[in-house]
Every structure is written in structure tokens, then in C-alpha cells.
Structure 1
Amino acid sequence: MKTLAKWSVEDYHQMIDAGILRDRNVELLTGEIVEMSPETPIHYYTAEEGTEYLQTLLANQAHVRFNGPITLSDSEPEPDIAIVRLPKSMYKDHHPYAEDIFWIIEVAKSSLKKDLELKLSIYAQAQIQEYWVLDLSQKQLIIFREPENNSYLTQQTLNQGNVNPLAFPNIEISVERLLN
């Protein structure tokens, strides 16, 4: 039986600062340094368009991050989109922590299994109140709410209509716009 060495967020930051992870497309997930899936054109396009759409809807209410790291207790994932507290200048010295995050969106095609299992568990454990997965294969939005233990109590799947995020109930977000 082999035992893997687990890395802390501090260890991970030291490796980054020392240049050990330079030119490596990785993220820290539950103490393990994991290769990230290469982004297909549709994945990148969907994430970028979603970011721009949400930036317009949430102007002066939240900062919408595109492909940026967040720092959790034993992970530093890089969600496709993270909606975080203002002011943006808070993140000059550290990435957003769990308490700074309104909700997270992952865009998934080849990464769907990882996003629905490992990342879901990480985000739920960090008590991130809302987690969305844009499933490009099925053209649907999967919404997870109410984190408990390492999962979410509620799950909703939509392929059309509007959704109101928990943190901004007055904002209507078009599911079709996010998926196209």
C-alpha cells in the first residue's frame, strides 16, 4: 500500500514561489497537486462569456473572477468563475477565502466527473453556499445549495429559464445565456 504525501496550502504557495510548479497547469485539491484538464475552445469561451455576463449583472455588487485561484483549508482550486465580495483590492495579498465567496461556477465537459464529485465535496466542506456546474455535454446547469458535511442537500438541474442566486435574490440570470 502506498501513502501519498499531503501538501498544505502553505507548502503549495512555497512551491509556487520557488518556481517548482512553473509551466505546470495544476491546482491543489485536498492536499494533492492535481493536473488540470486542458481547456477546449468551447470550455474557455463559455467560461469567459459567463464571466462577462455576470460582471454586467453584478456590477458594484460583487467581483466576478475568471479562472482564478481561491484558498480553502487544504485546497487551492481554480474555478472557472468565482463570485466574491468587494472590494477587489482585498485580493492583492491573498486569493479569496471561503468566507469571501458568494458562489462558484465550474464549466464542465471532460472534467464533469471531477467537478461533480471531488470539487463538489471540496466546496461543500468549505461551506460555499452555492455551487453551479455548467454541463456542456448535456447543455444544462446543475445548481447545488445547502452544504452539509461533504455534499449539498439540494440539487436542481435546468436547461432554460432564469435562476436567482442565493446571495443576490433580486438578480435574474438566464440559463440559456450561460450555456450559449
Structure 2
Amino acid sequence: MTVTTVKWSLDDYHRMIAVGILADRRVELLNGEIVEMAIEGEPHAYSRNEADEYLTEVLGSRAKVRQDSPITLPNDSEPEPDIAIVQRLGREYRSHHPYPENIFWLIEYAESSLEKDLDVKSKIYAEAGIPEYWVVNLKAMQLIVFRDPQNGAYASQQTLISGTINPLAFPDLAIVVEAILNP
């Protein structure tokens, strides 16, 4: 017996949301598959919230910091990154979630979802052309920085535990790594 899985399009996913099929579920669409999101523990919530406040202050009017909100990608994916740093488009986001061209960089905080964030999501984001993607490994207290998307993968990966990092979108801005890790 062969098992065939069904791939869902963005339109299918949006129709399911509109009619309430997914109302009581914490899910996201990844490569056409509806995937349950991990339950968020205290370290995850704390660190994400602190980083959100820090980045909002540091970025000021340069960018919008969105927390736990969907982004729409062309590879039948609509993930909900922990933090998305996007263009300030104001009310335009009433009619659509940020597209790849609106995204400066994404951040995921990971404990139980580490493997998914490092493997599955990094490929989805690279394939969509997201220029920069950060994963905070809450178990090891590391910031893993992915850059230079090429052929569905990031060509550059760097692991930081301290110091500063300059986002590609704002090279004049020094982000304190410890403020993102929040140990």
C-alpha cells in the first residue's frame, strides 16, 4: 500500500482559516503541509518578548518588528516566525502578510523545535530568498545566523554567543547578541 500525502496551496490554507477549520489549532503551512507548532515554554516566551522590545527600540522607525505573525512565501508556505523584521508598510498589512520582498530578517527561538527551525525552516526561508535568518538555540544559548540564500539553502552560517552583529539590511546598526539571547 502506498501512502499519498496531500499538499495544500496558500489558497486552500486561507480558505480553511476563513471557515474556521483551523481555529483551535496552532499550525503553520510549510511547503504545502499543515504543521503543528510547538508549545511555547517560559524561556521561549520571555526571550522572544525581551528581544522584541530591544529590537523595536534599536530599530526605531527603520523597520517594524512583528511577533508571532504570519508571513506569506511563494513556496506554499505561511510560517509564523517568532520575530519578523519587516518594512513599515502600515495599513497595507491589512490586506496581506509580509512577502519576501518586505522582510529584512527573521528570528526563531527554539528548544523543542530546534531541528525543524535549523533544517526545514532554513530551507523554506532560503528558497524564498529571505536574506537573513537567525535561530536562537535556547538549550545552548547560541545565536545561529544564516545568510546568503543560494539554491534553496543558506551559503553562510555563523554561531555567536556574545558580541555584536550587524544585520545585512542595516549594516550601520550593531545588535548586541546577549540582548537577543537574553540569558
**Same fold by TM (over 0.5)?**
yes
- The count of residues paired between Structure 1 and Structure 2 equals 180
> 2:95 — aligned with what?
93
> 1:160 — aligned with what?
162
Q: Note the C-alpha offset of 1:89.
A: 2.0
CA contact (8 A) 1:63 1:88 kept: no
> 2:52 — aligned with what?
51
1:47 maps to a residue whose letter is R
- For residues 24 and 124 of structure 1, what CA distance do their matches in structure 2 show? 27
SS state at 1:167 partner:
coil
SS state at 1:28 partner:
strand
Counterpart mapping for 1:24-39 below 5 A: 24-39=25-40
SS state at 1:33 partner:
strand
Q: Note the C-alpha offset of 1:87.
A: 2.4
2:96 maps to a residue whose letter is H
> 1:15 — aligned with what?
16
Q: Note the C-alpha offset of 1:177.
A: 1.2
- For residues 89 and 129 of structure 2, what CA distance do their matches in structure 1 show? 21
RMSD of aligned alpha carbons: 0.7
Q: Note the C-alpha offset of 1:100.
A: 0.5
- For residues 151 and 26 of structure 2, what CA distance do their matches in structure 1 show? 29
TM-score by length of 1: 0.98
> 1:107 — aligned with what?
109
- For residues 168 and 3 of structure 1, what CA distance do their matches in structure 2 show? 45
SS state at 1:133 partner:
strand
SS state at 2:28 partner:
strand
Unpaired stretches in structure 2, ≥5 consecutive residues: none
- For residues 69 and 113 of structure 1, what CA distance do their matches in structure 2 show? 20
1:40 aligns to 2:34 (yes or no): no
Alpha-carbon displacement from aligned partner over 1:75-128 (angstroms, at most 9, x marks no partner): 000000000001232211110011100000000111000000000000000000
Alpha-carbon displacement from aligned partner over 1:10-60 (angstroms, at most 9, x marks no partner): 110000000000110100000000000000011011111111110001111
TM-score by length of 2: 0.97
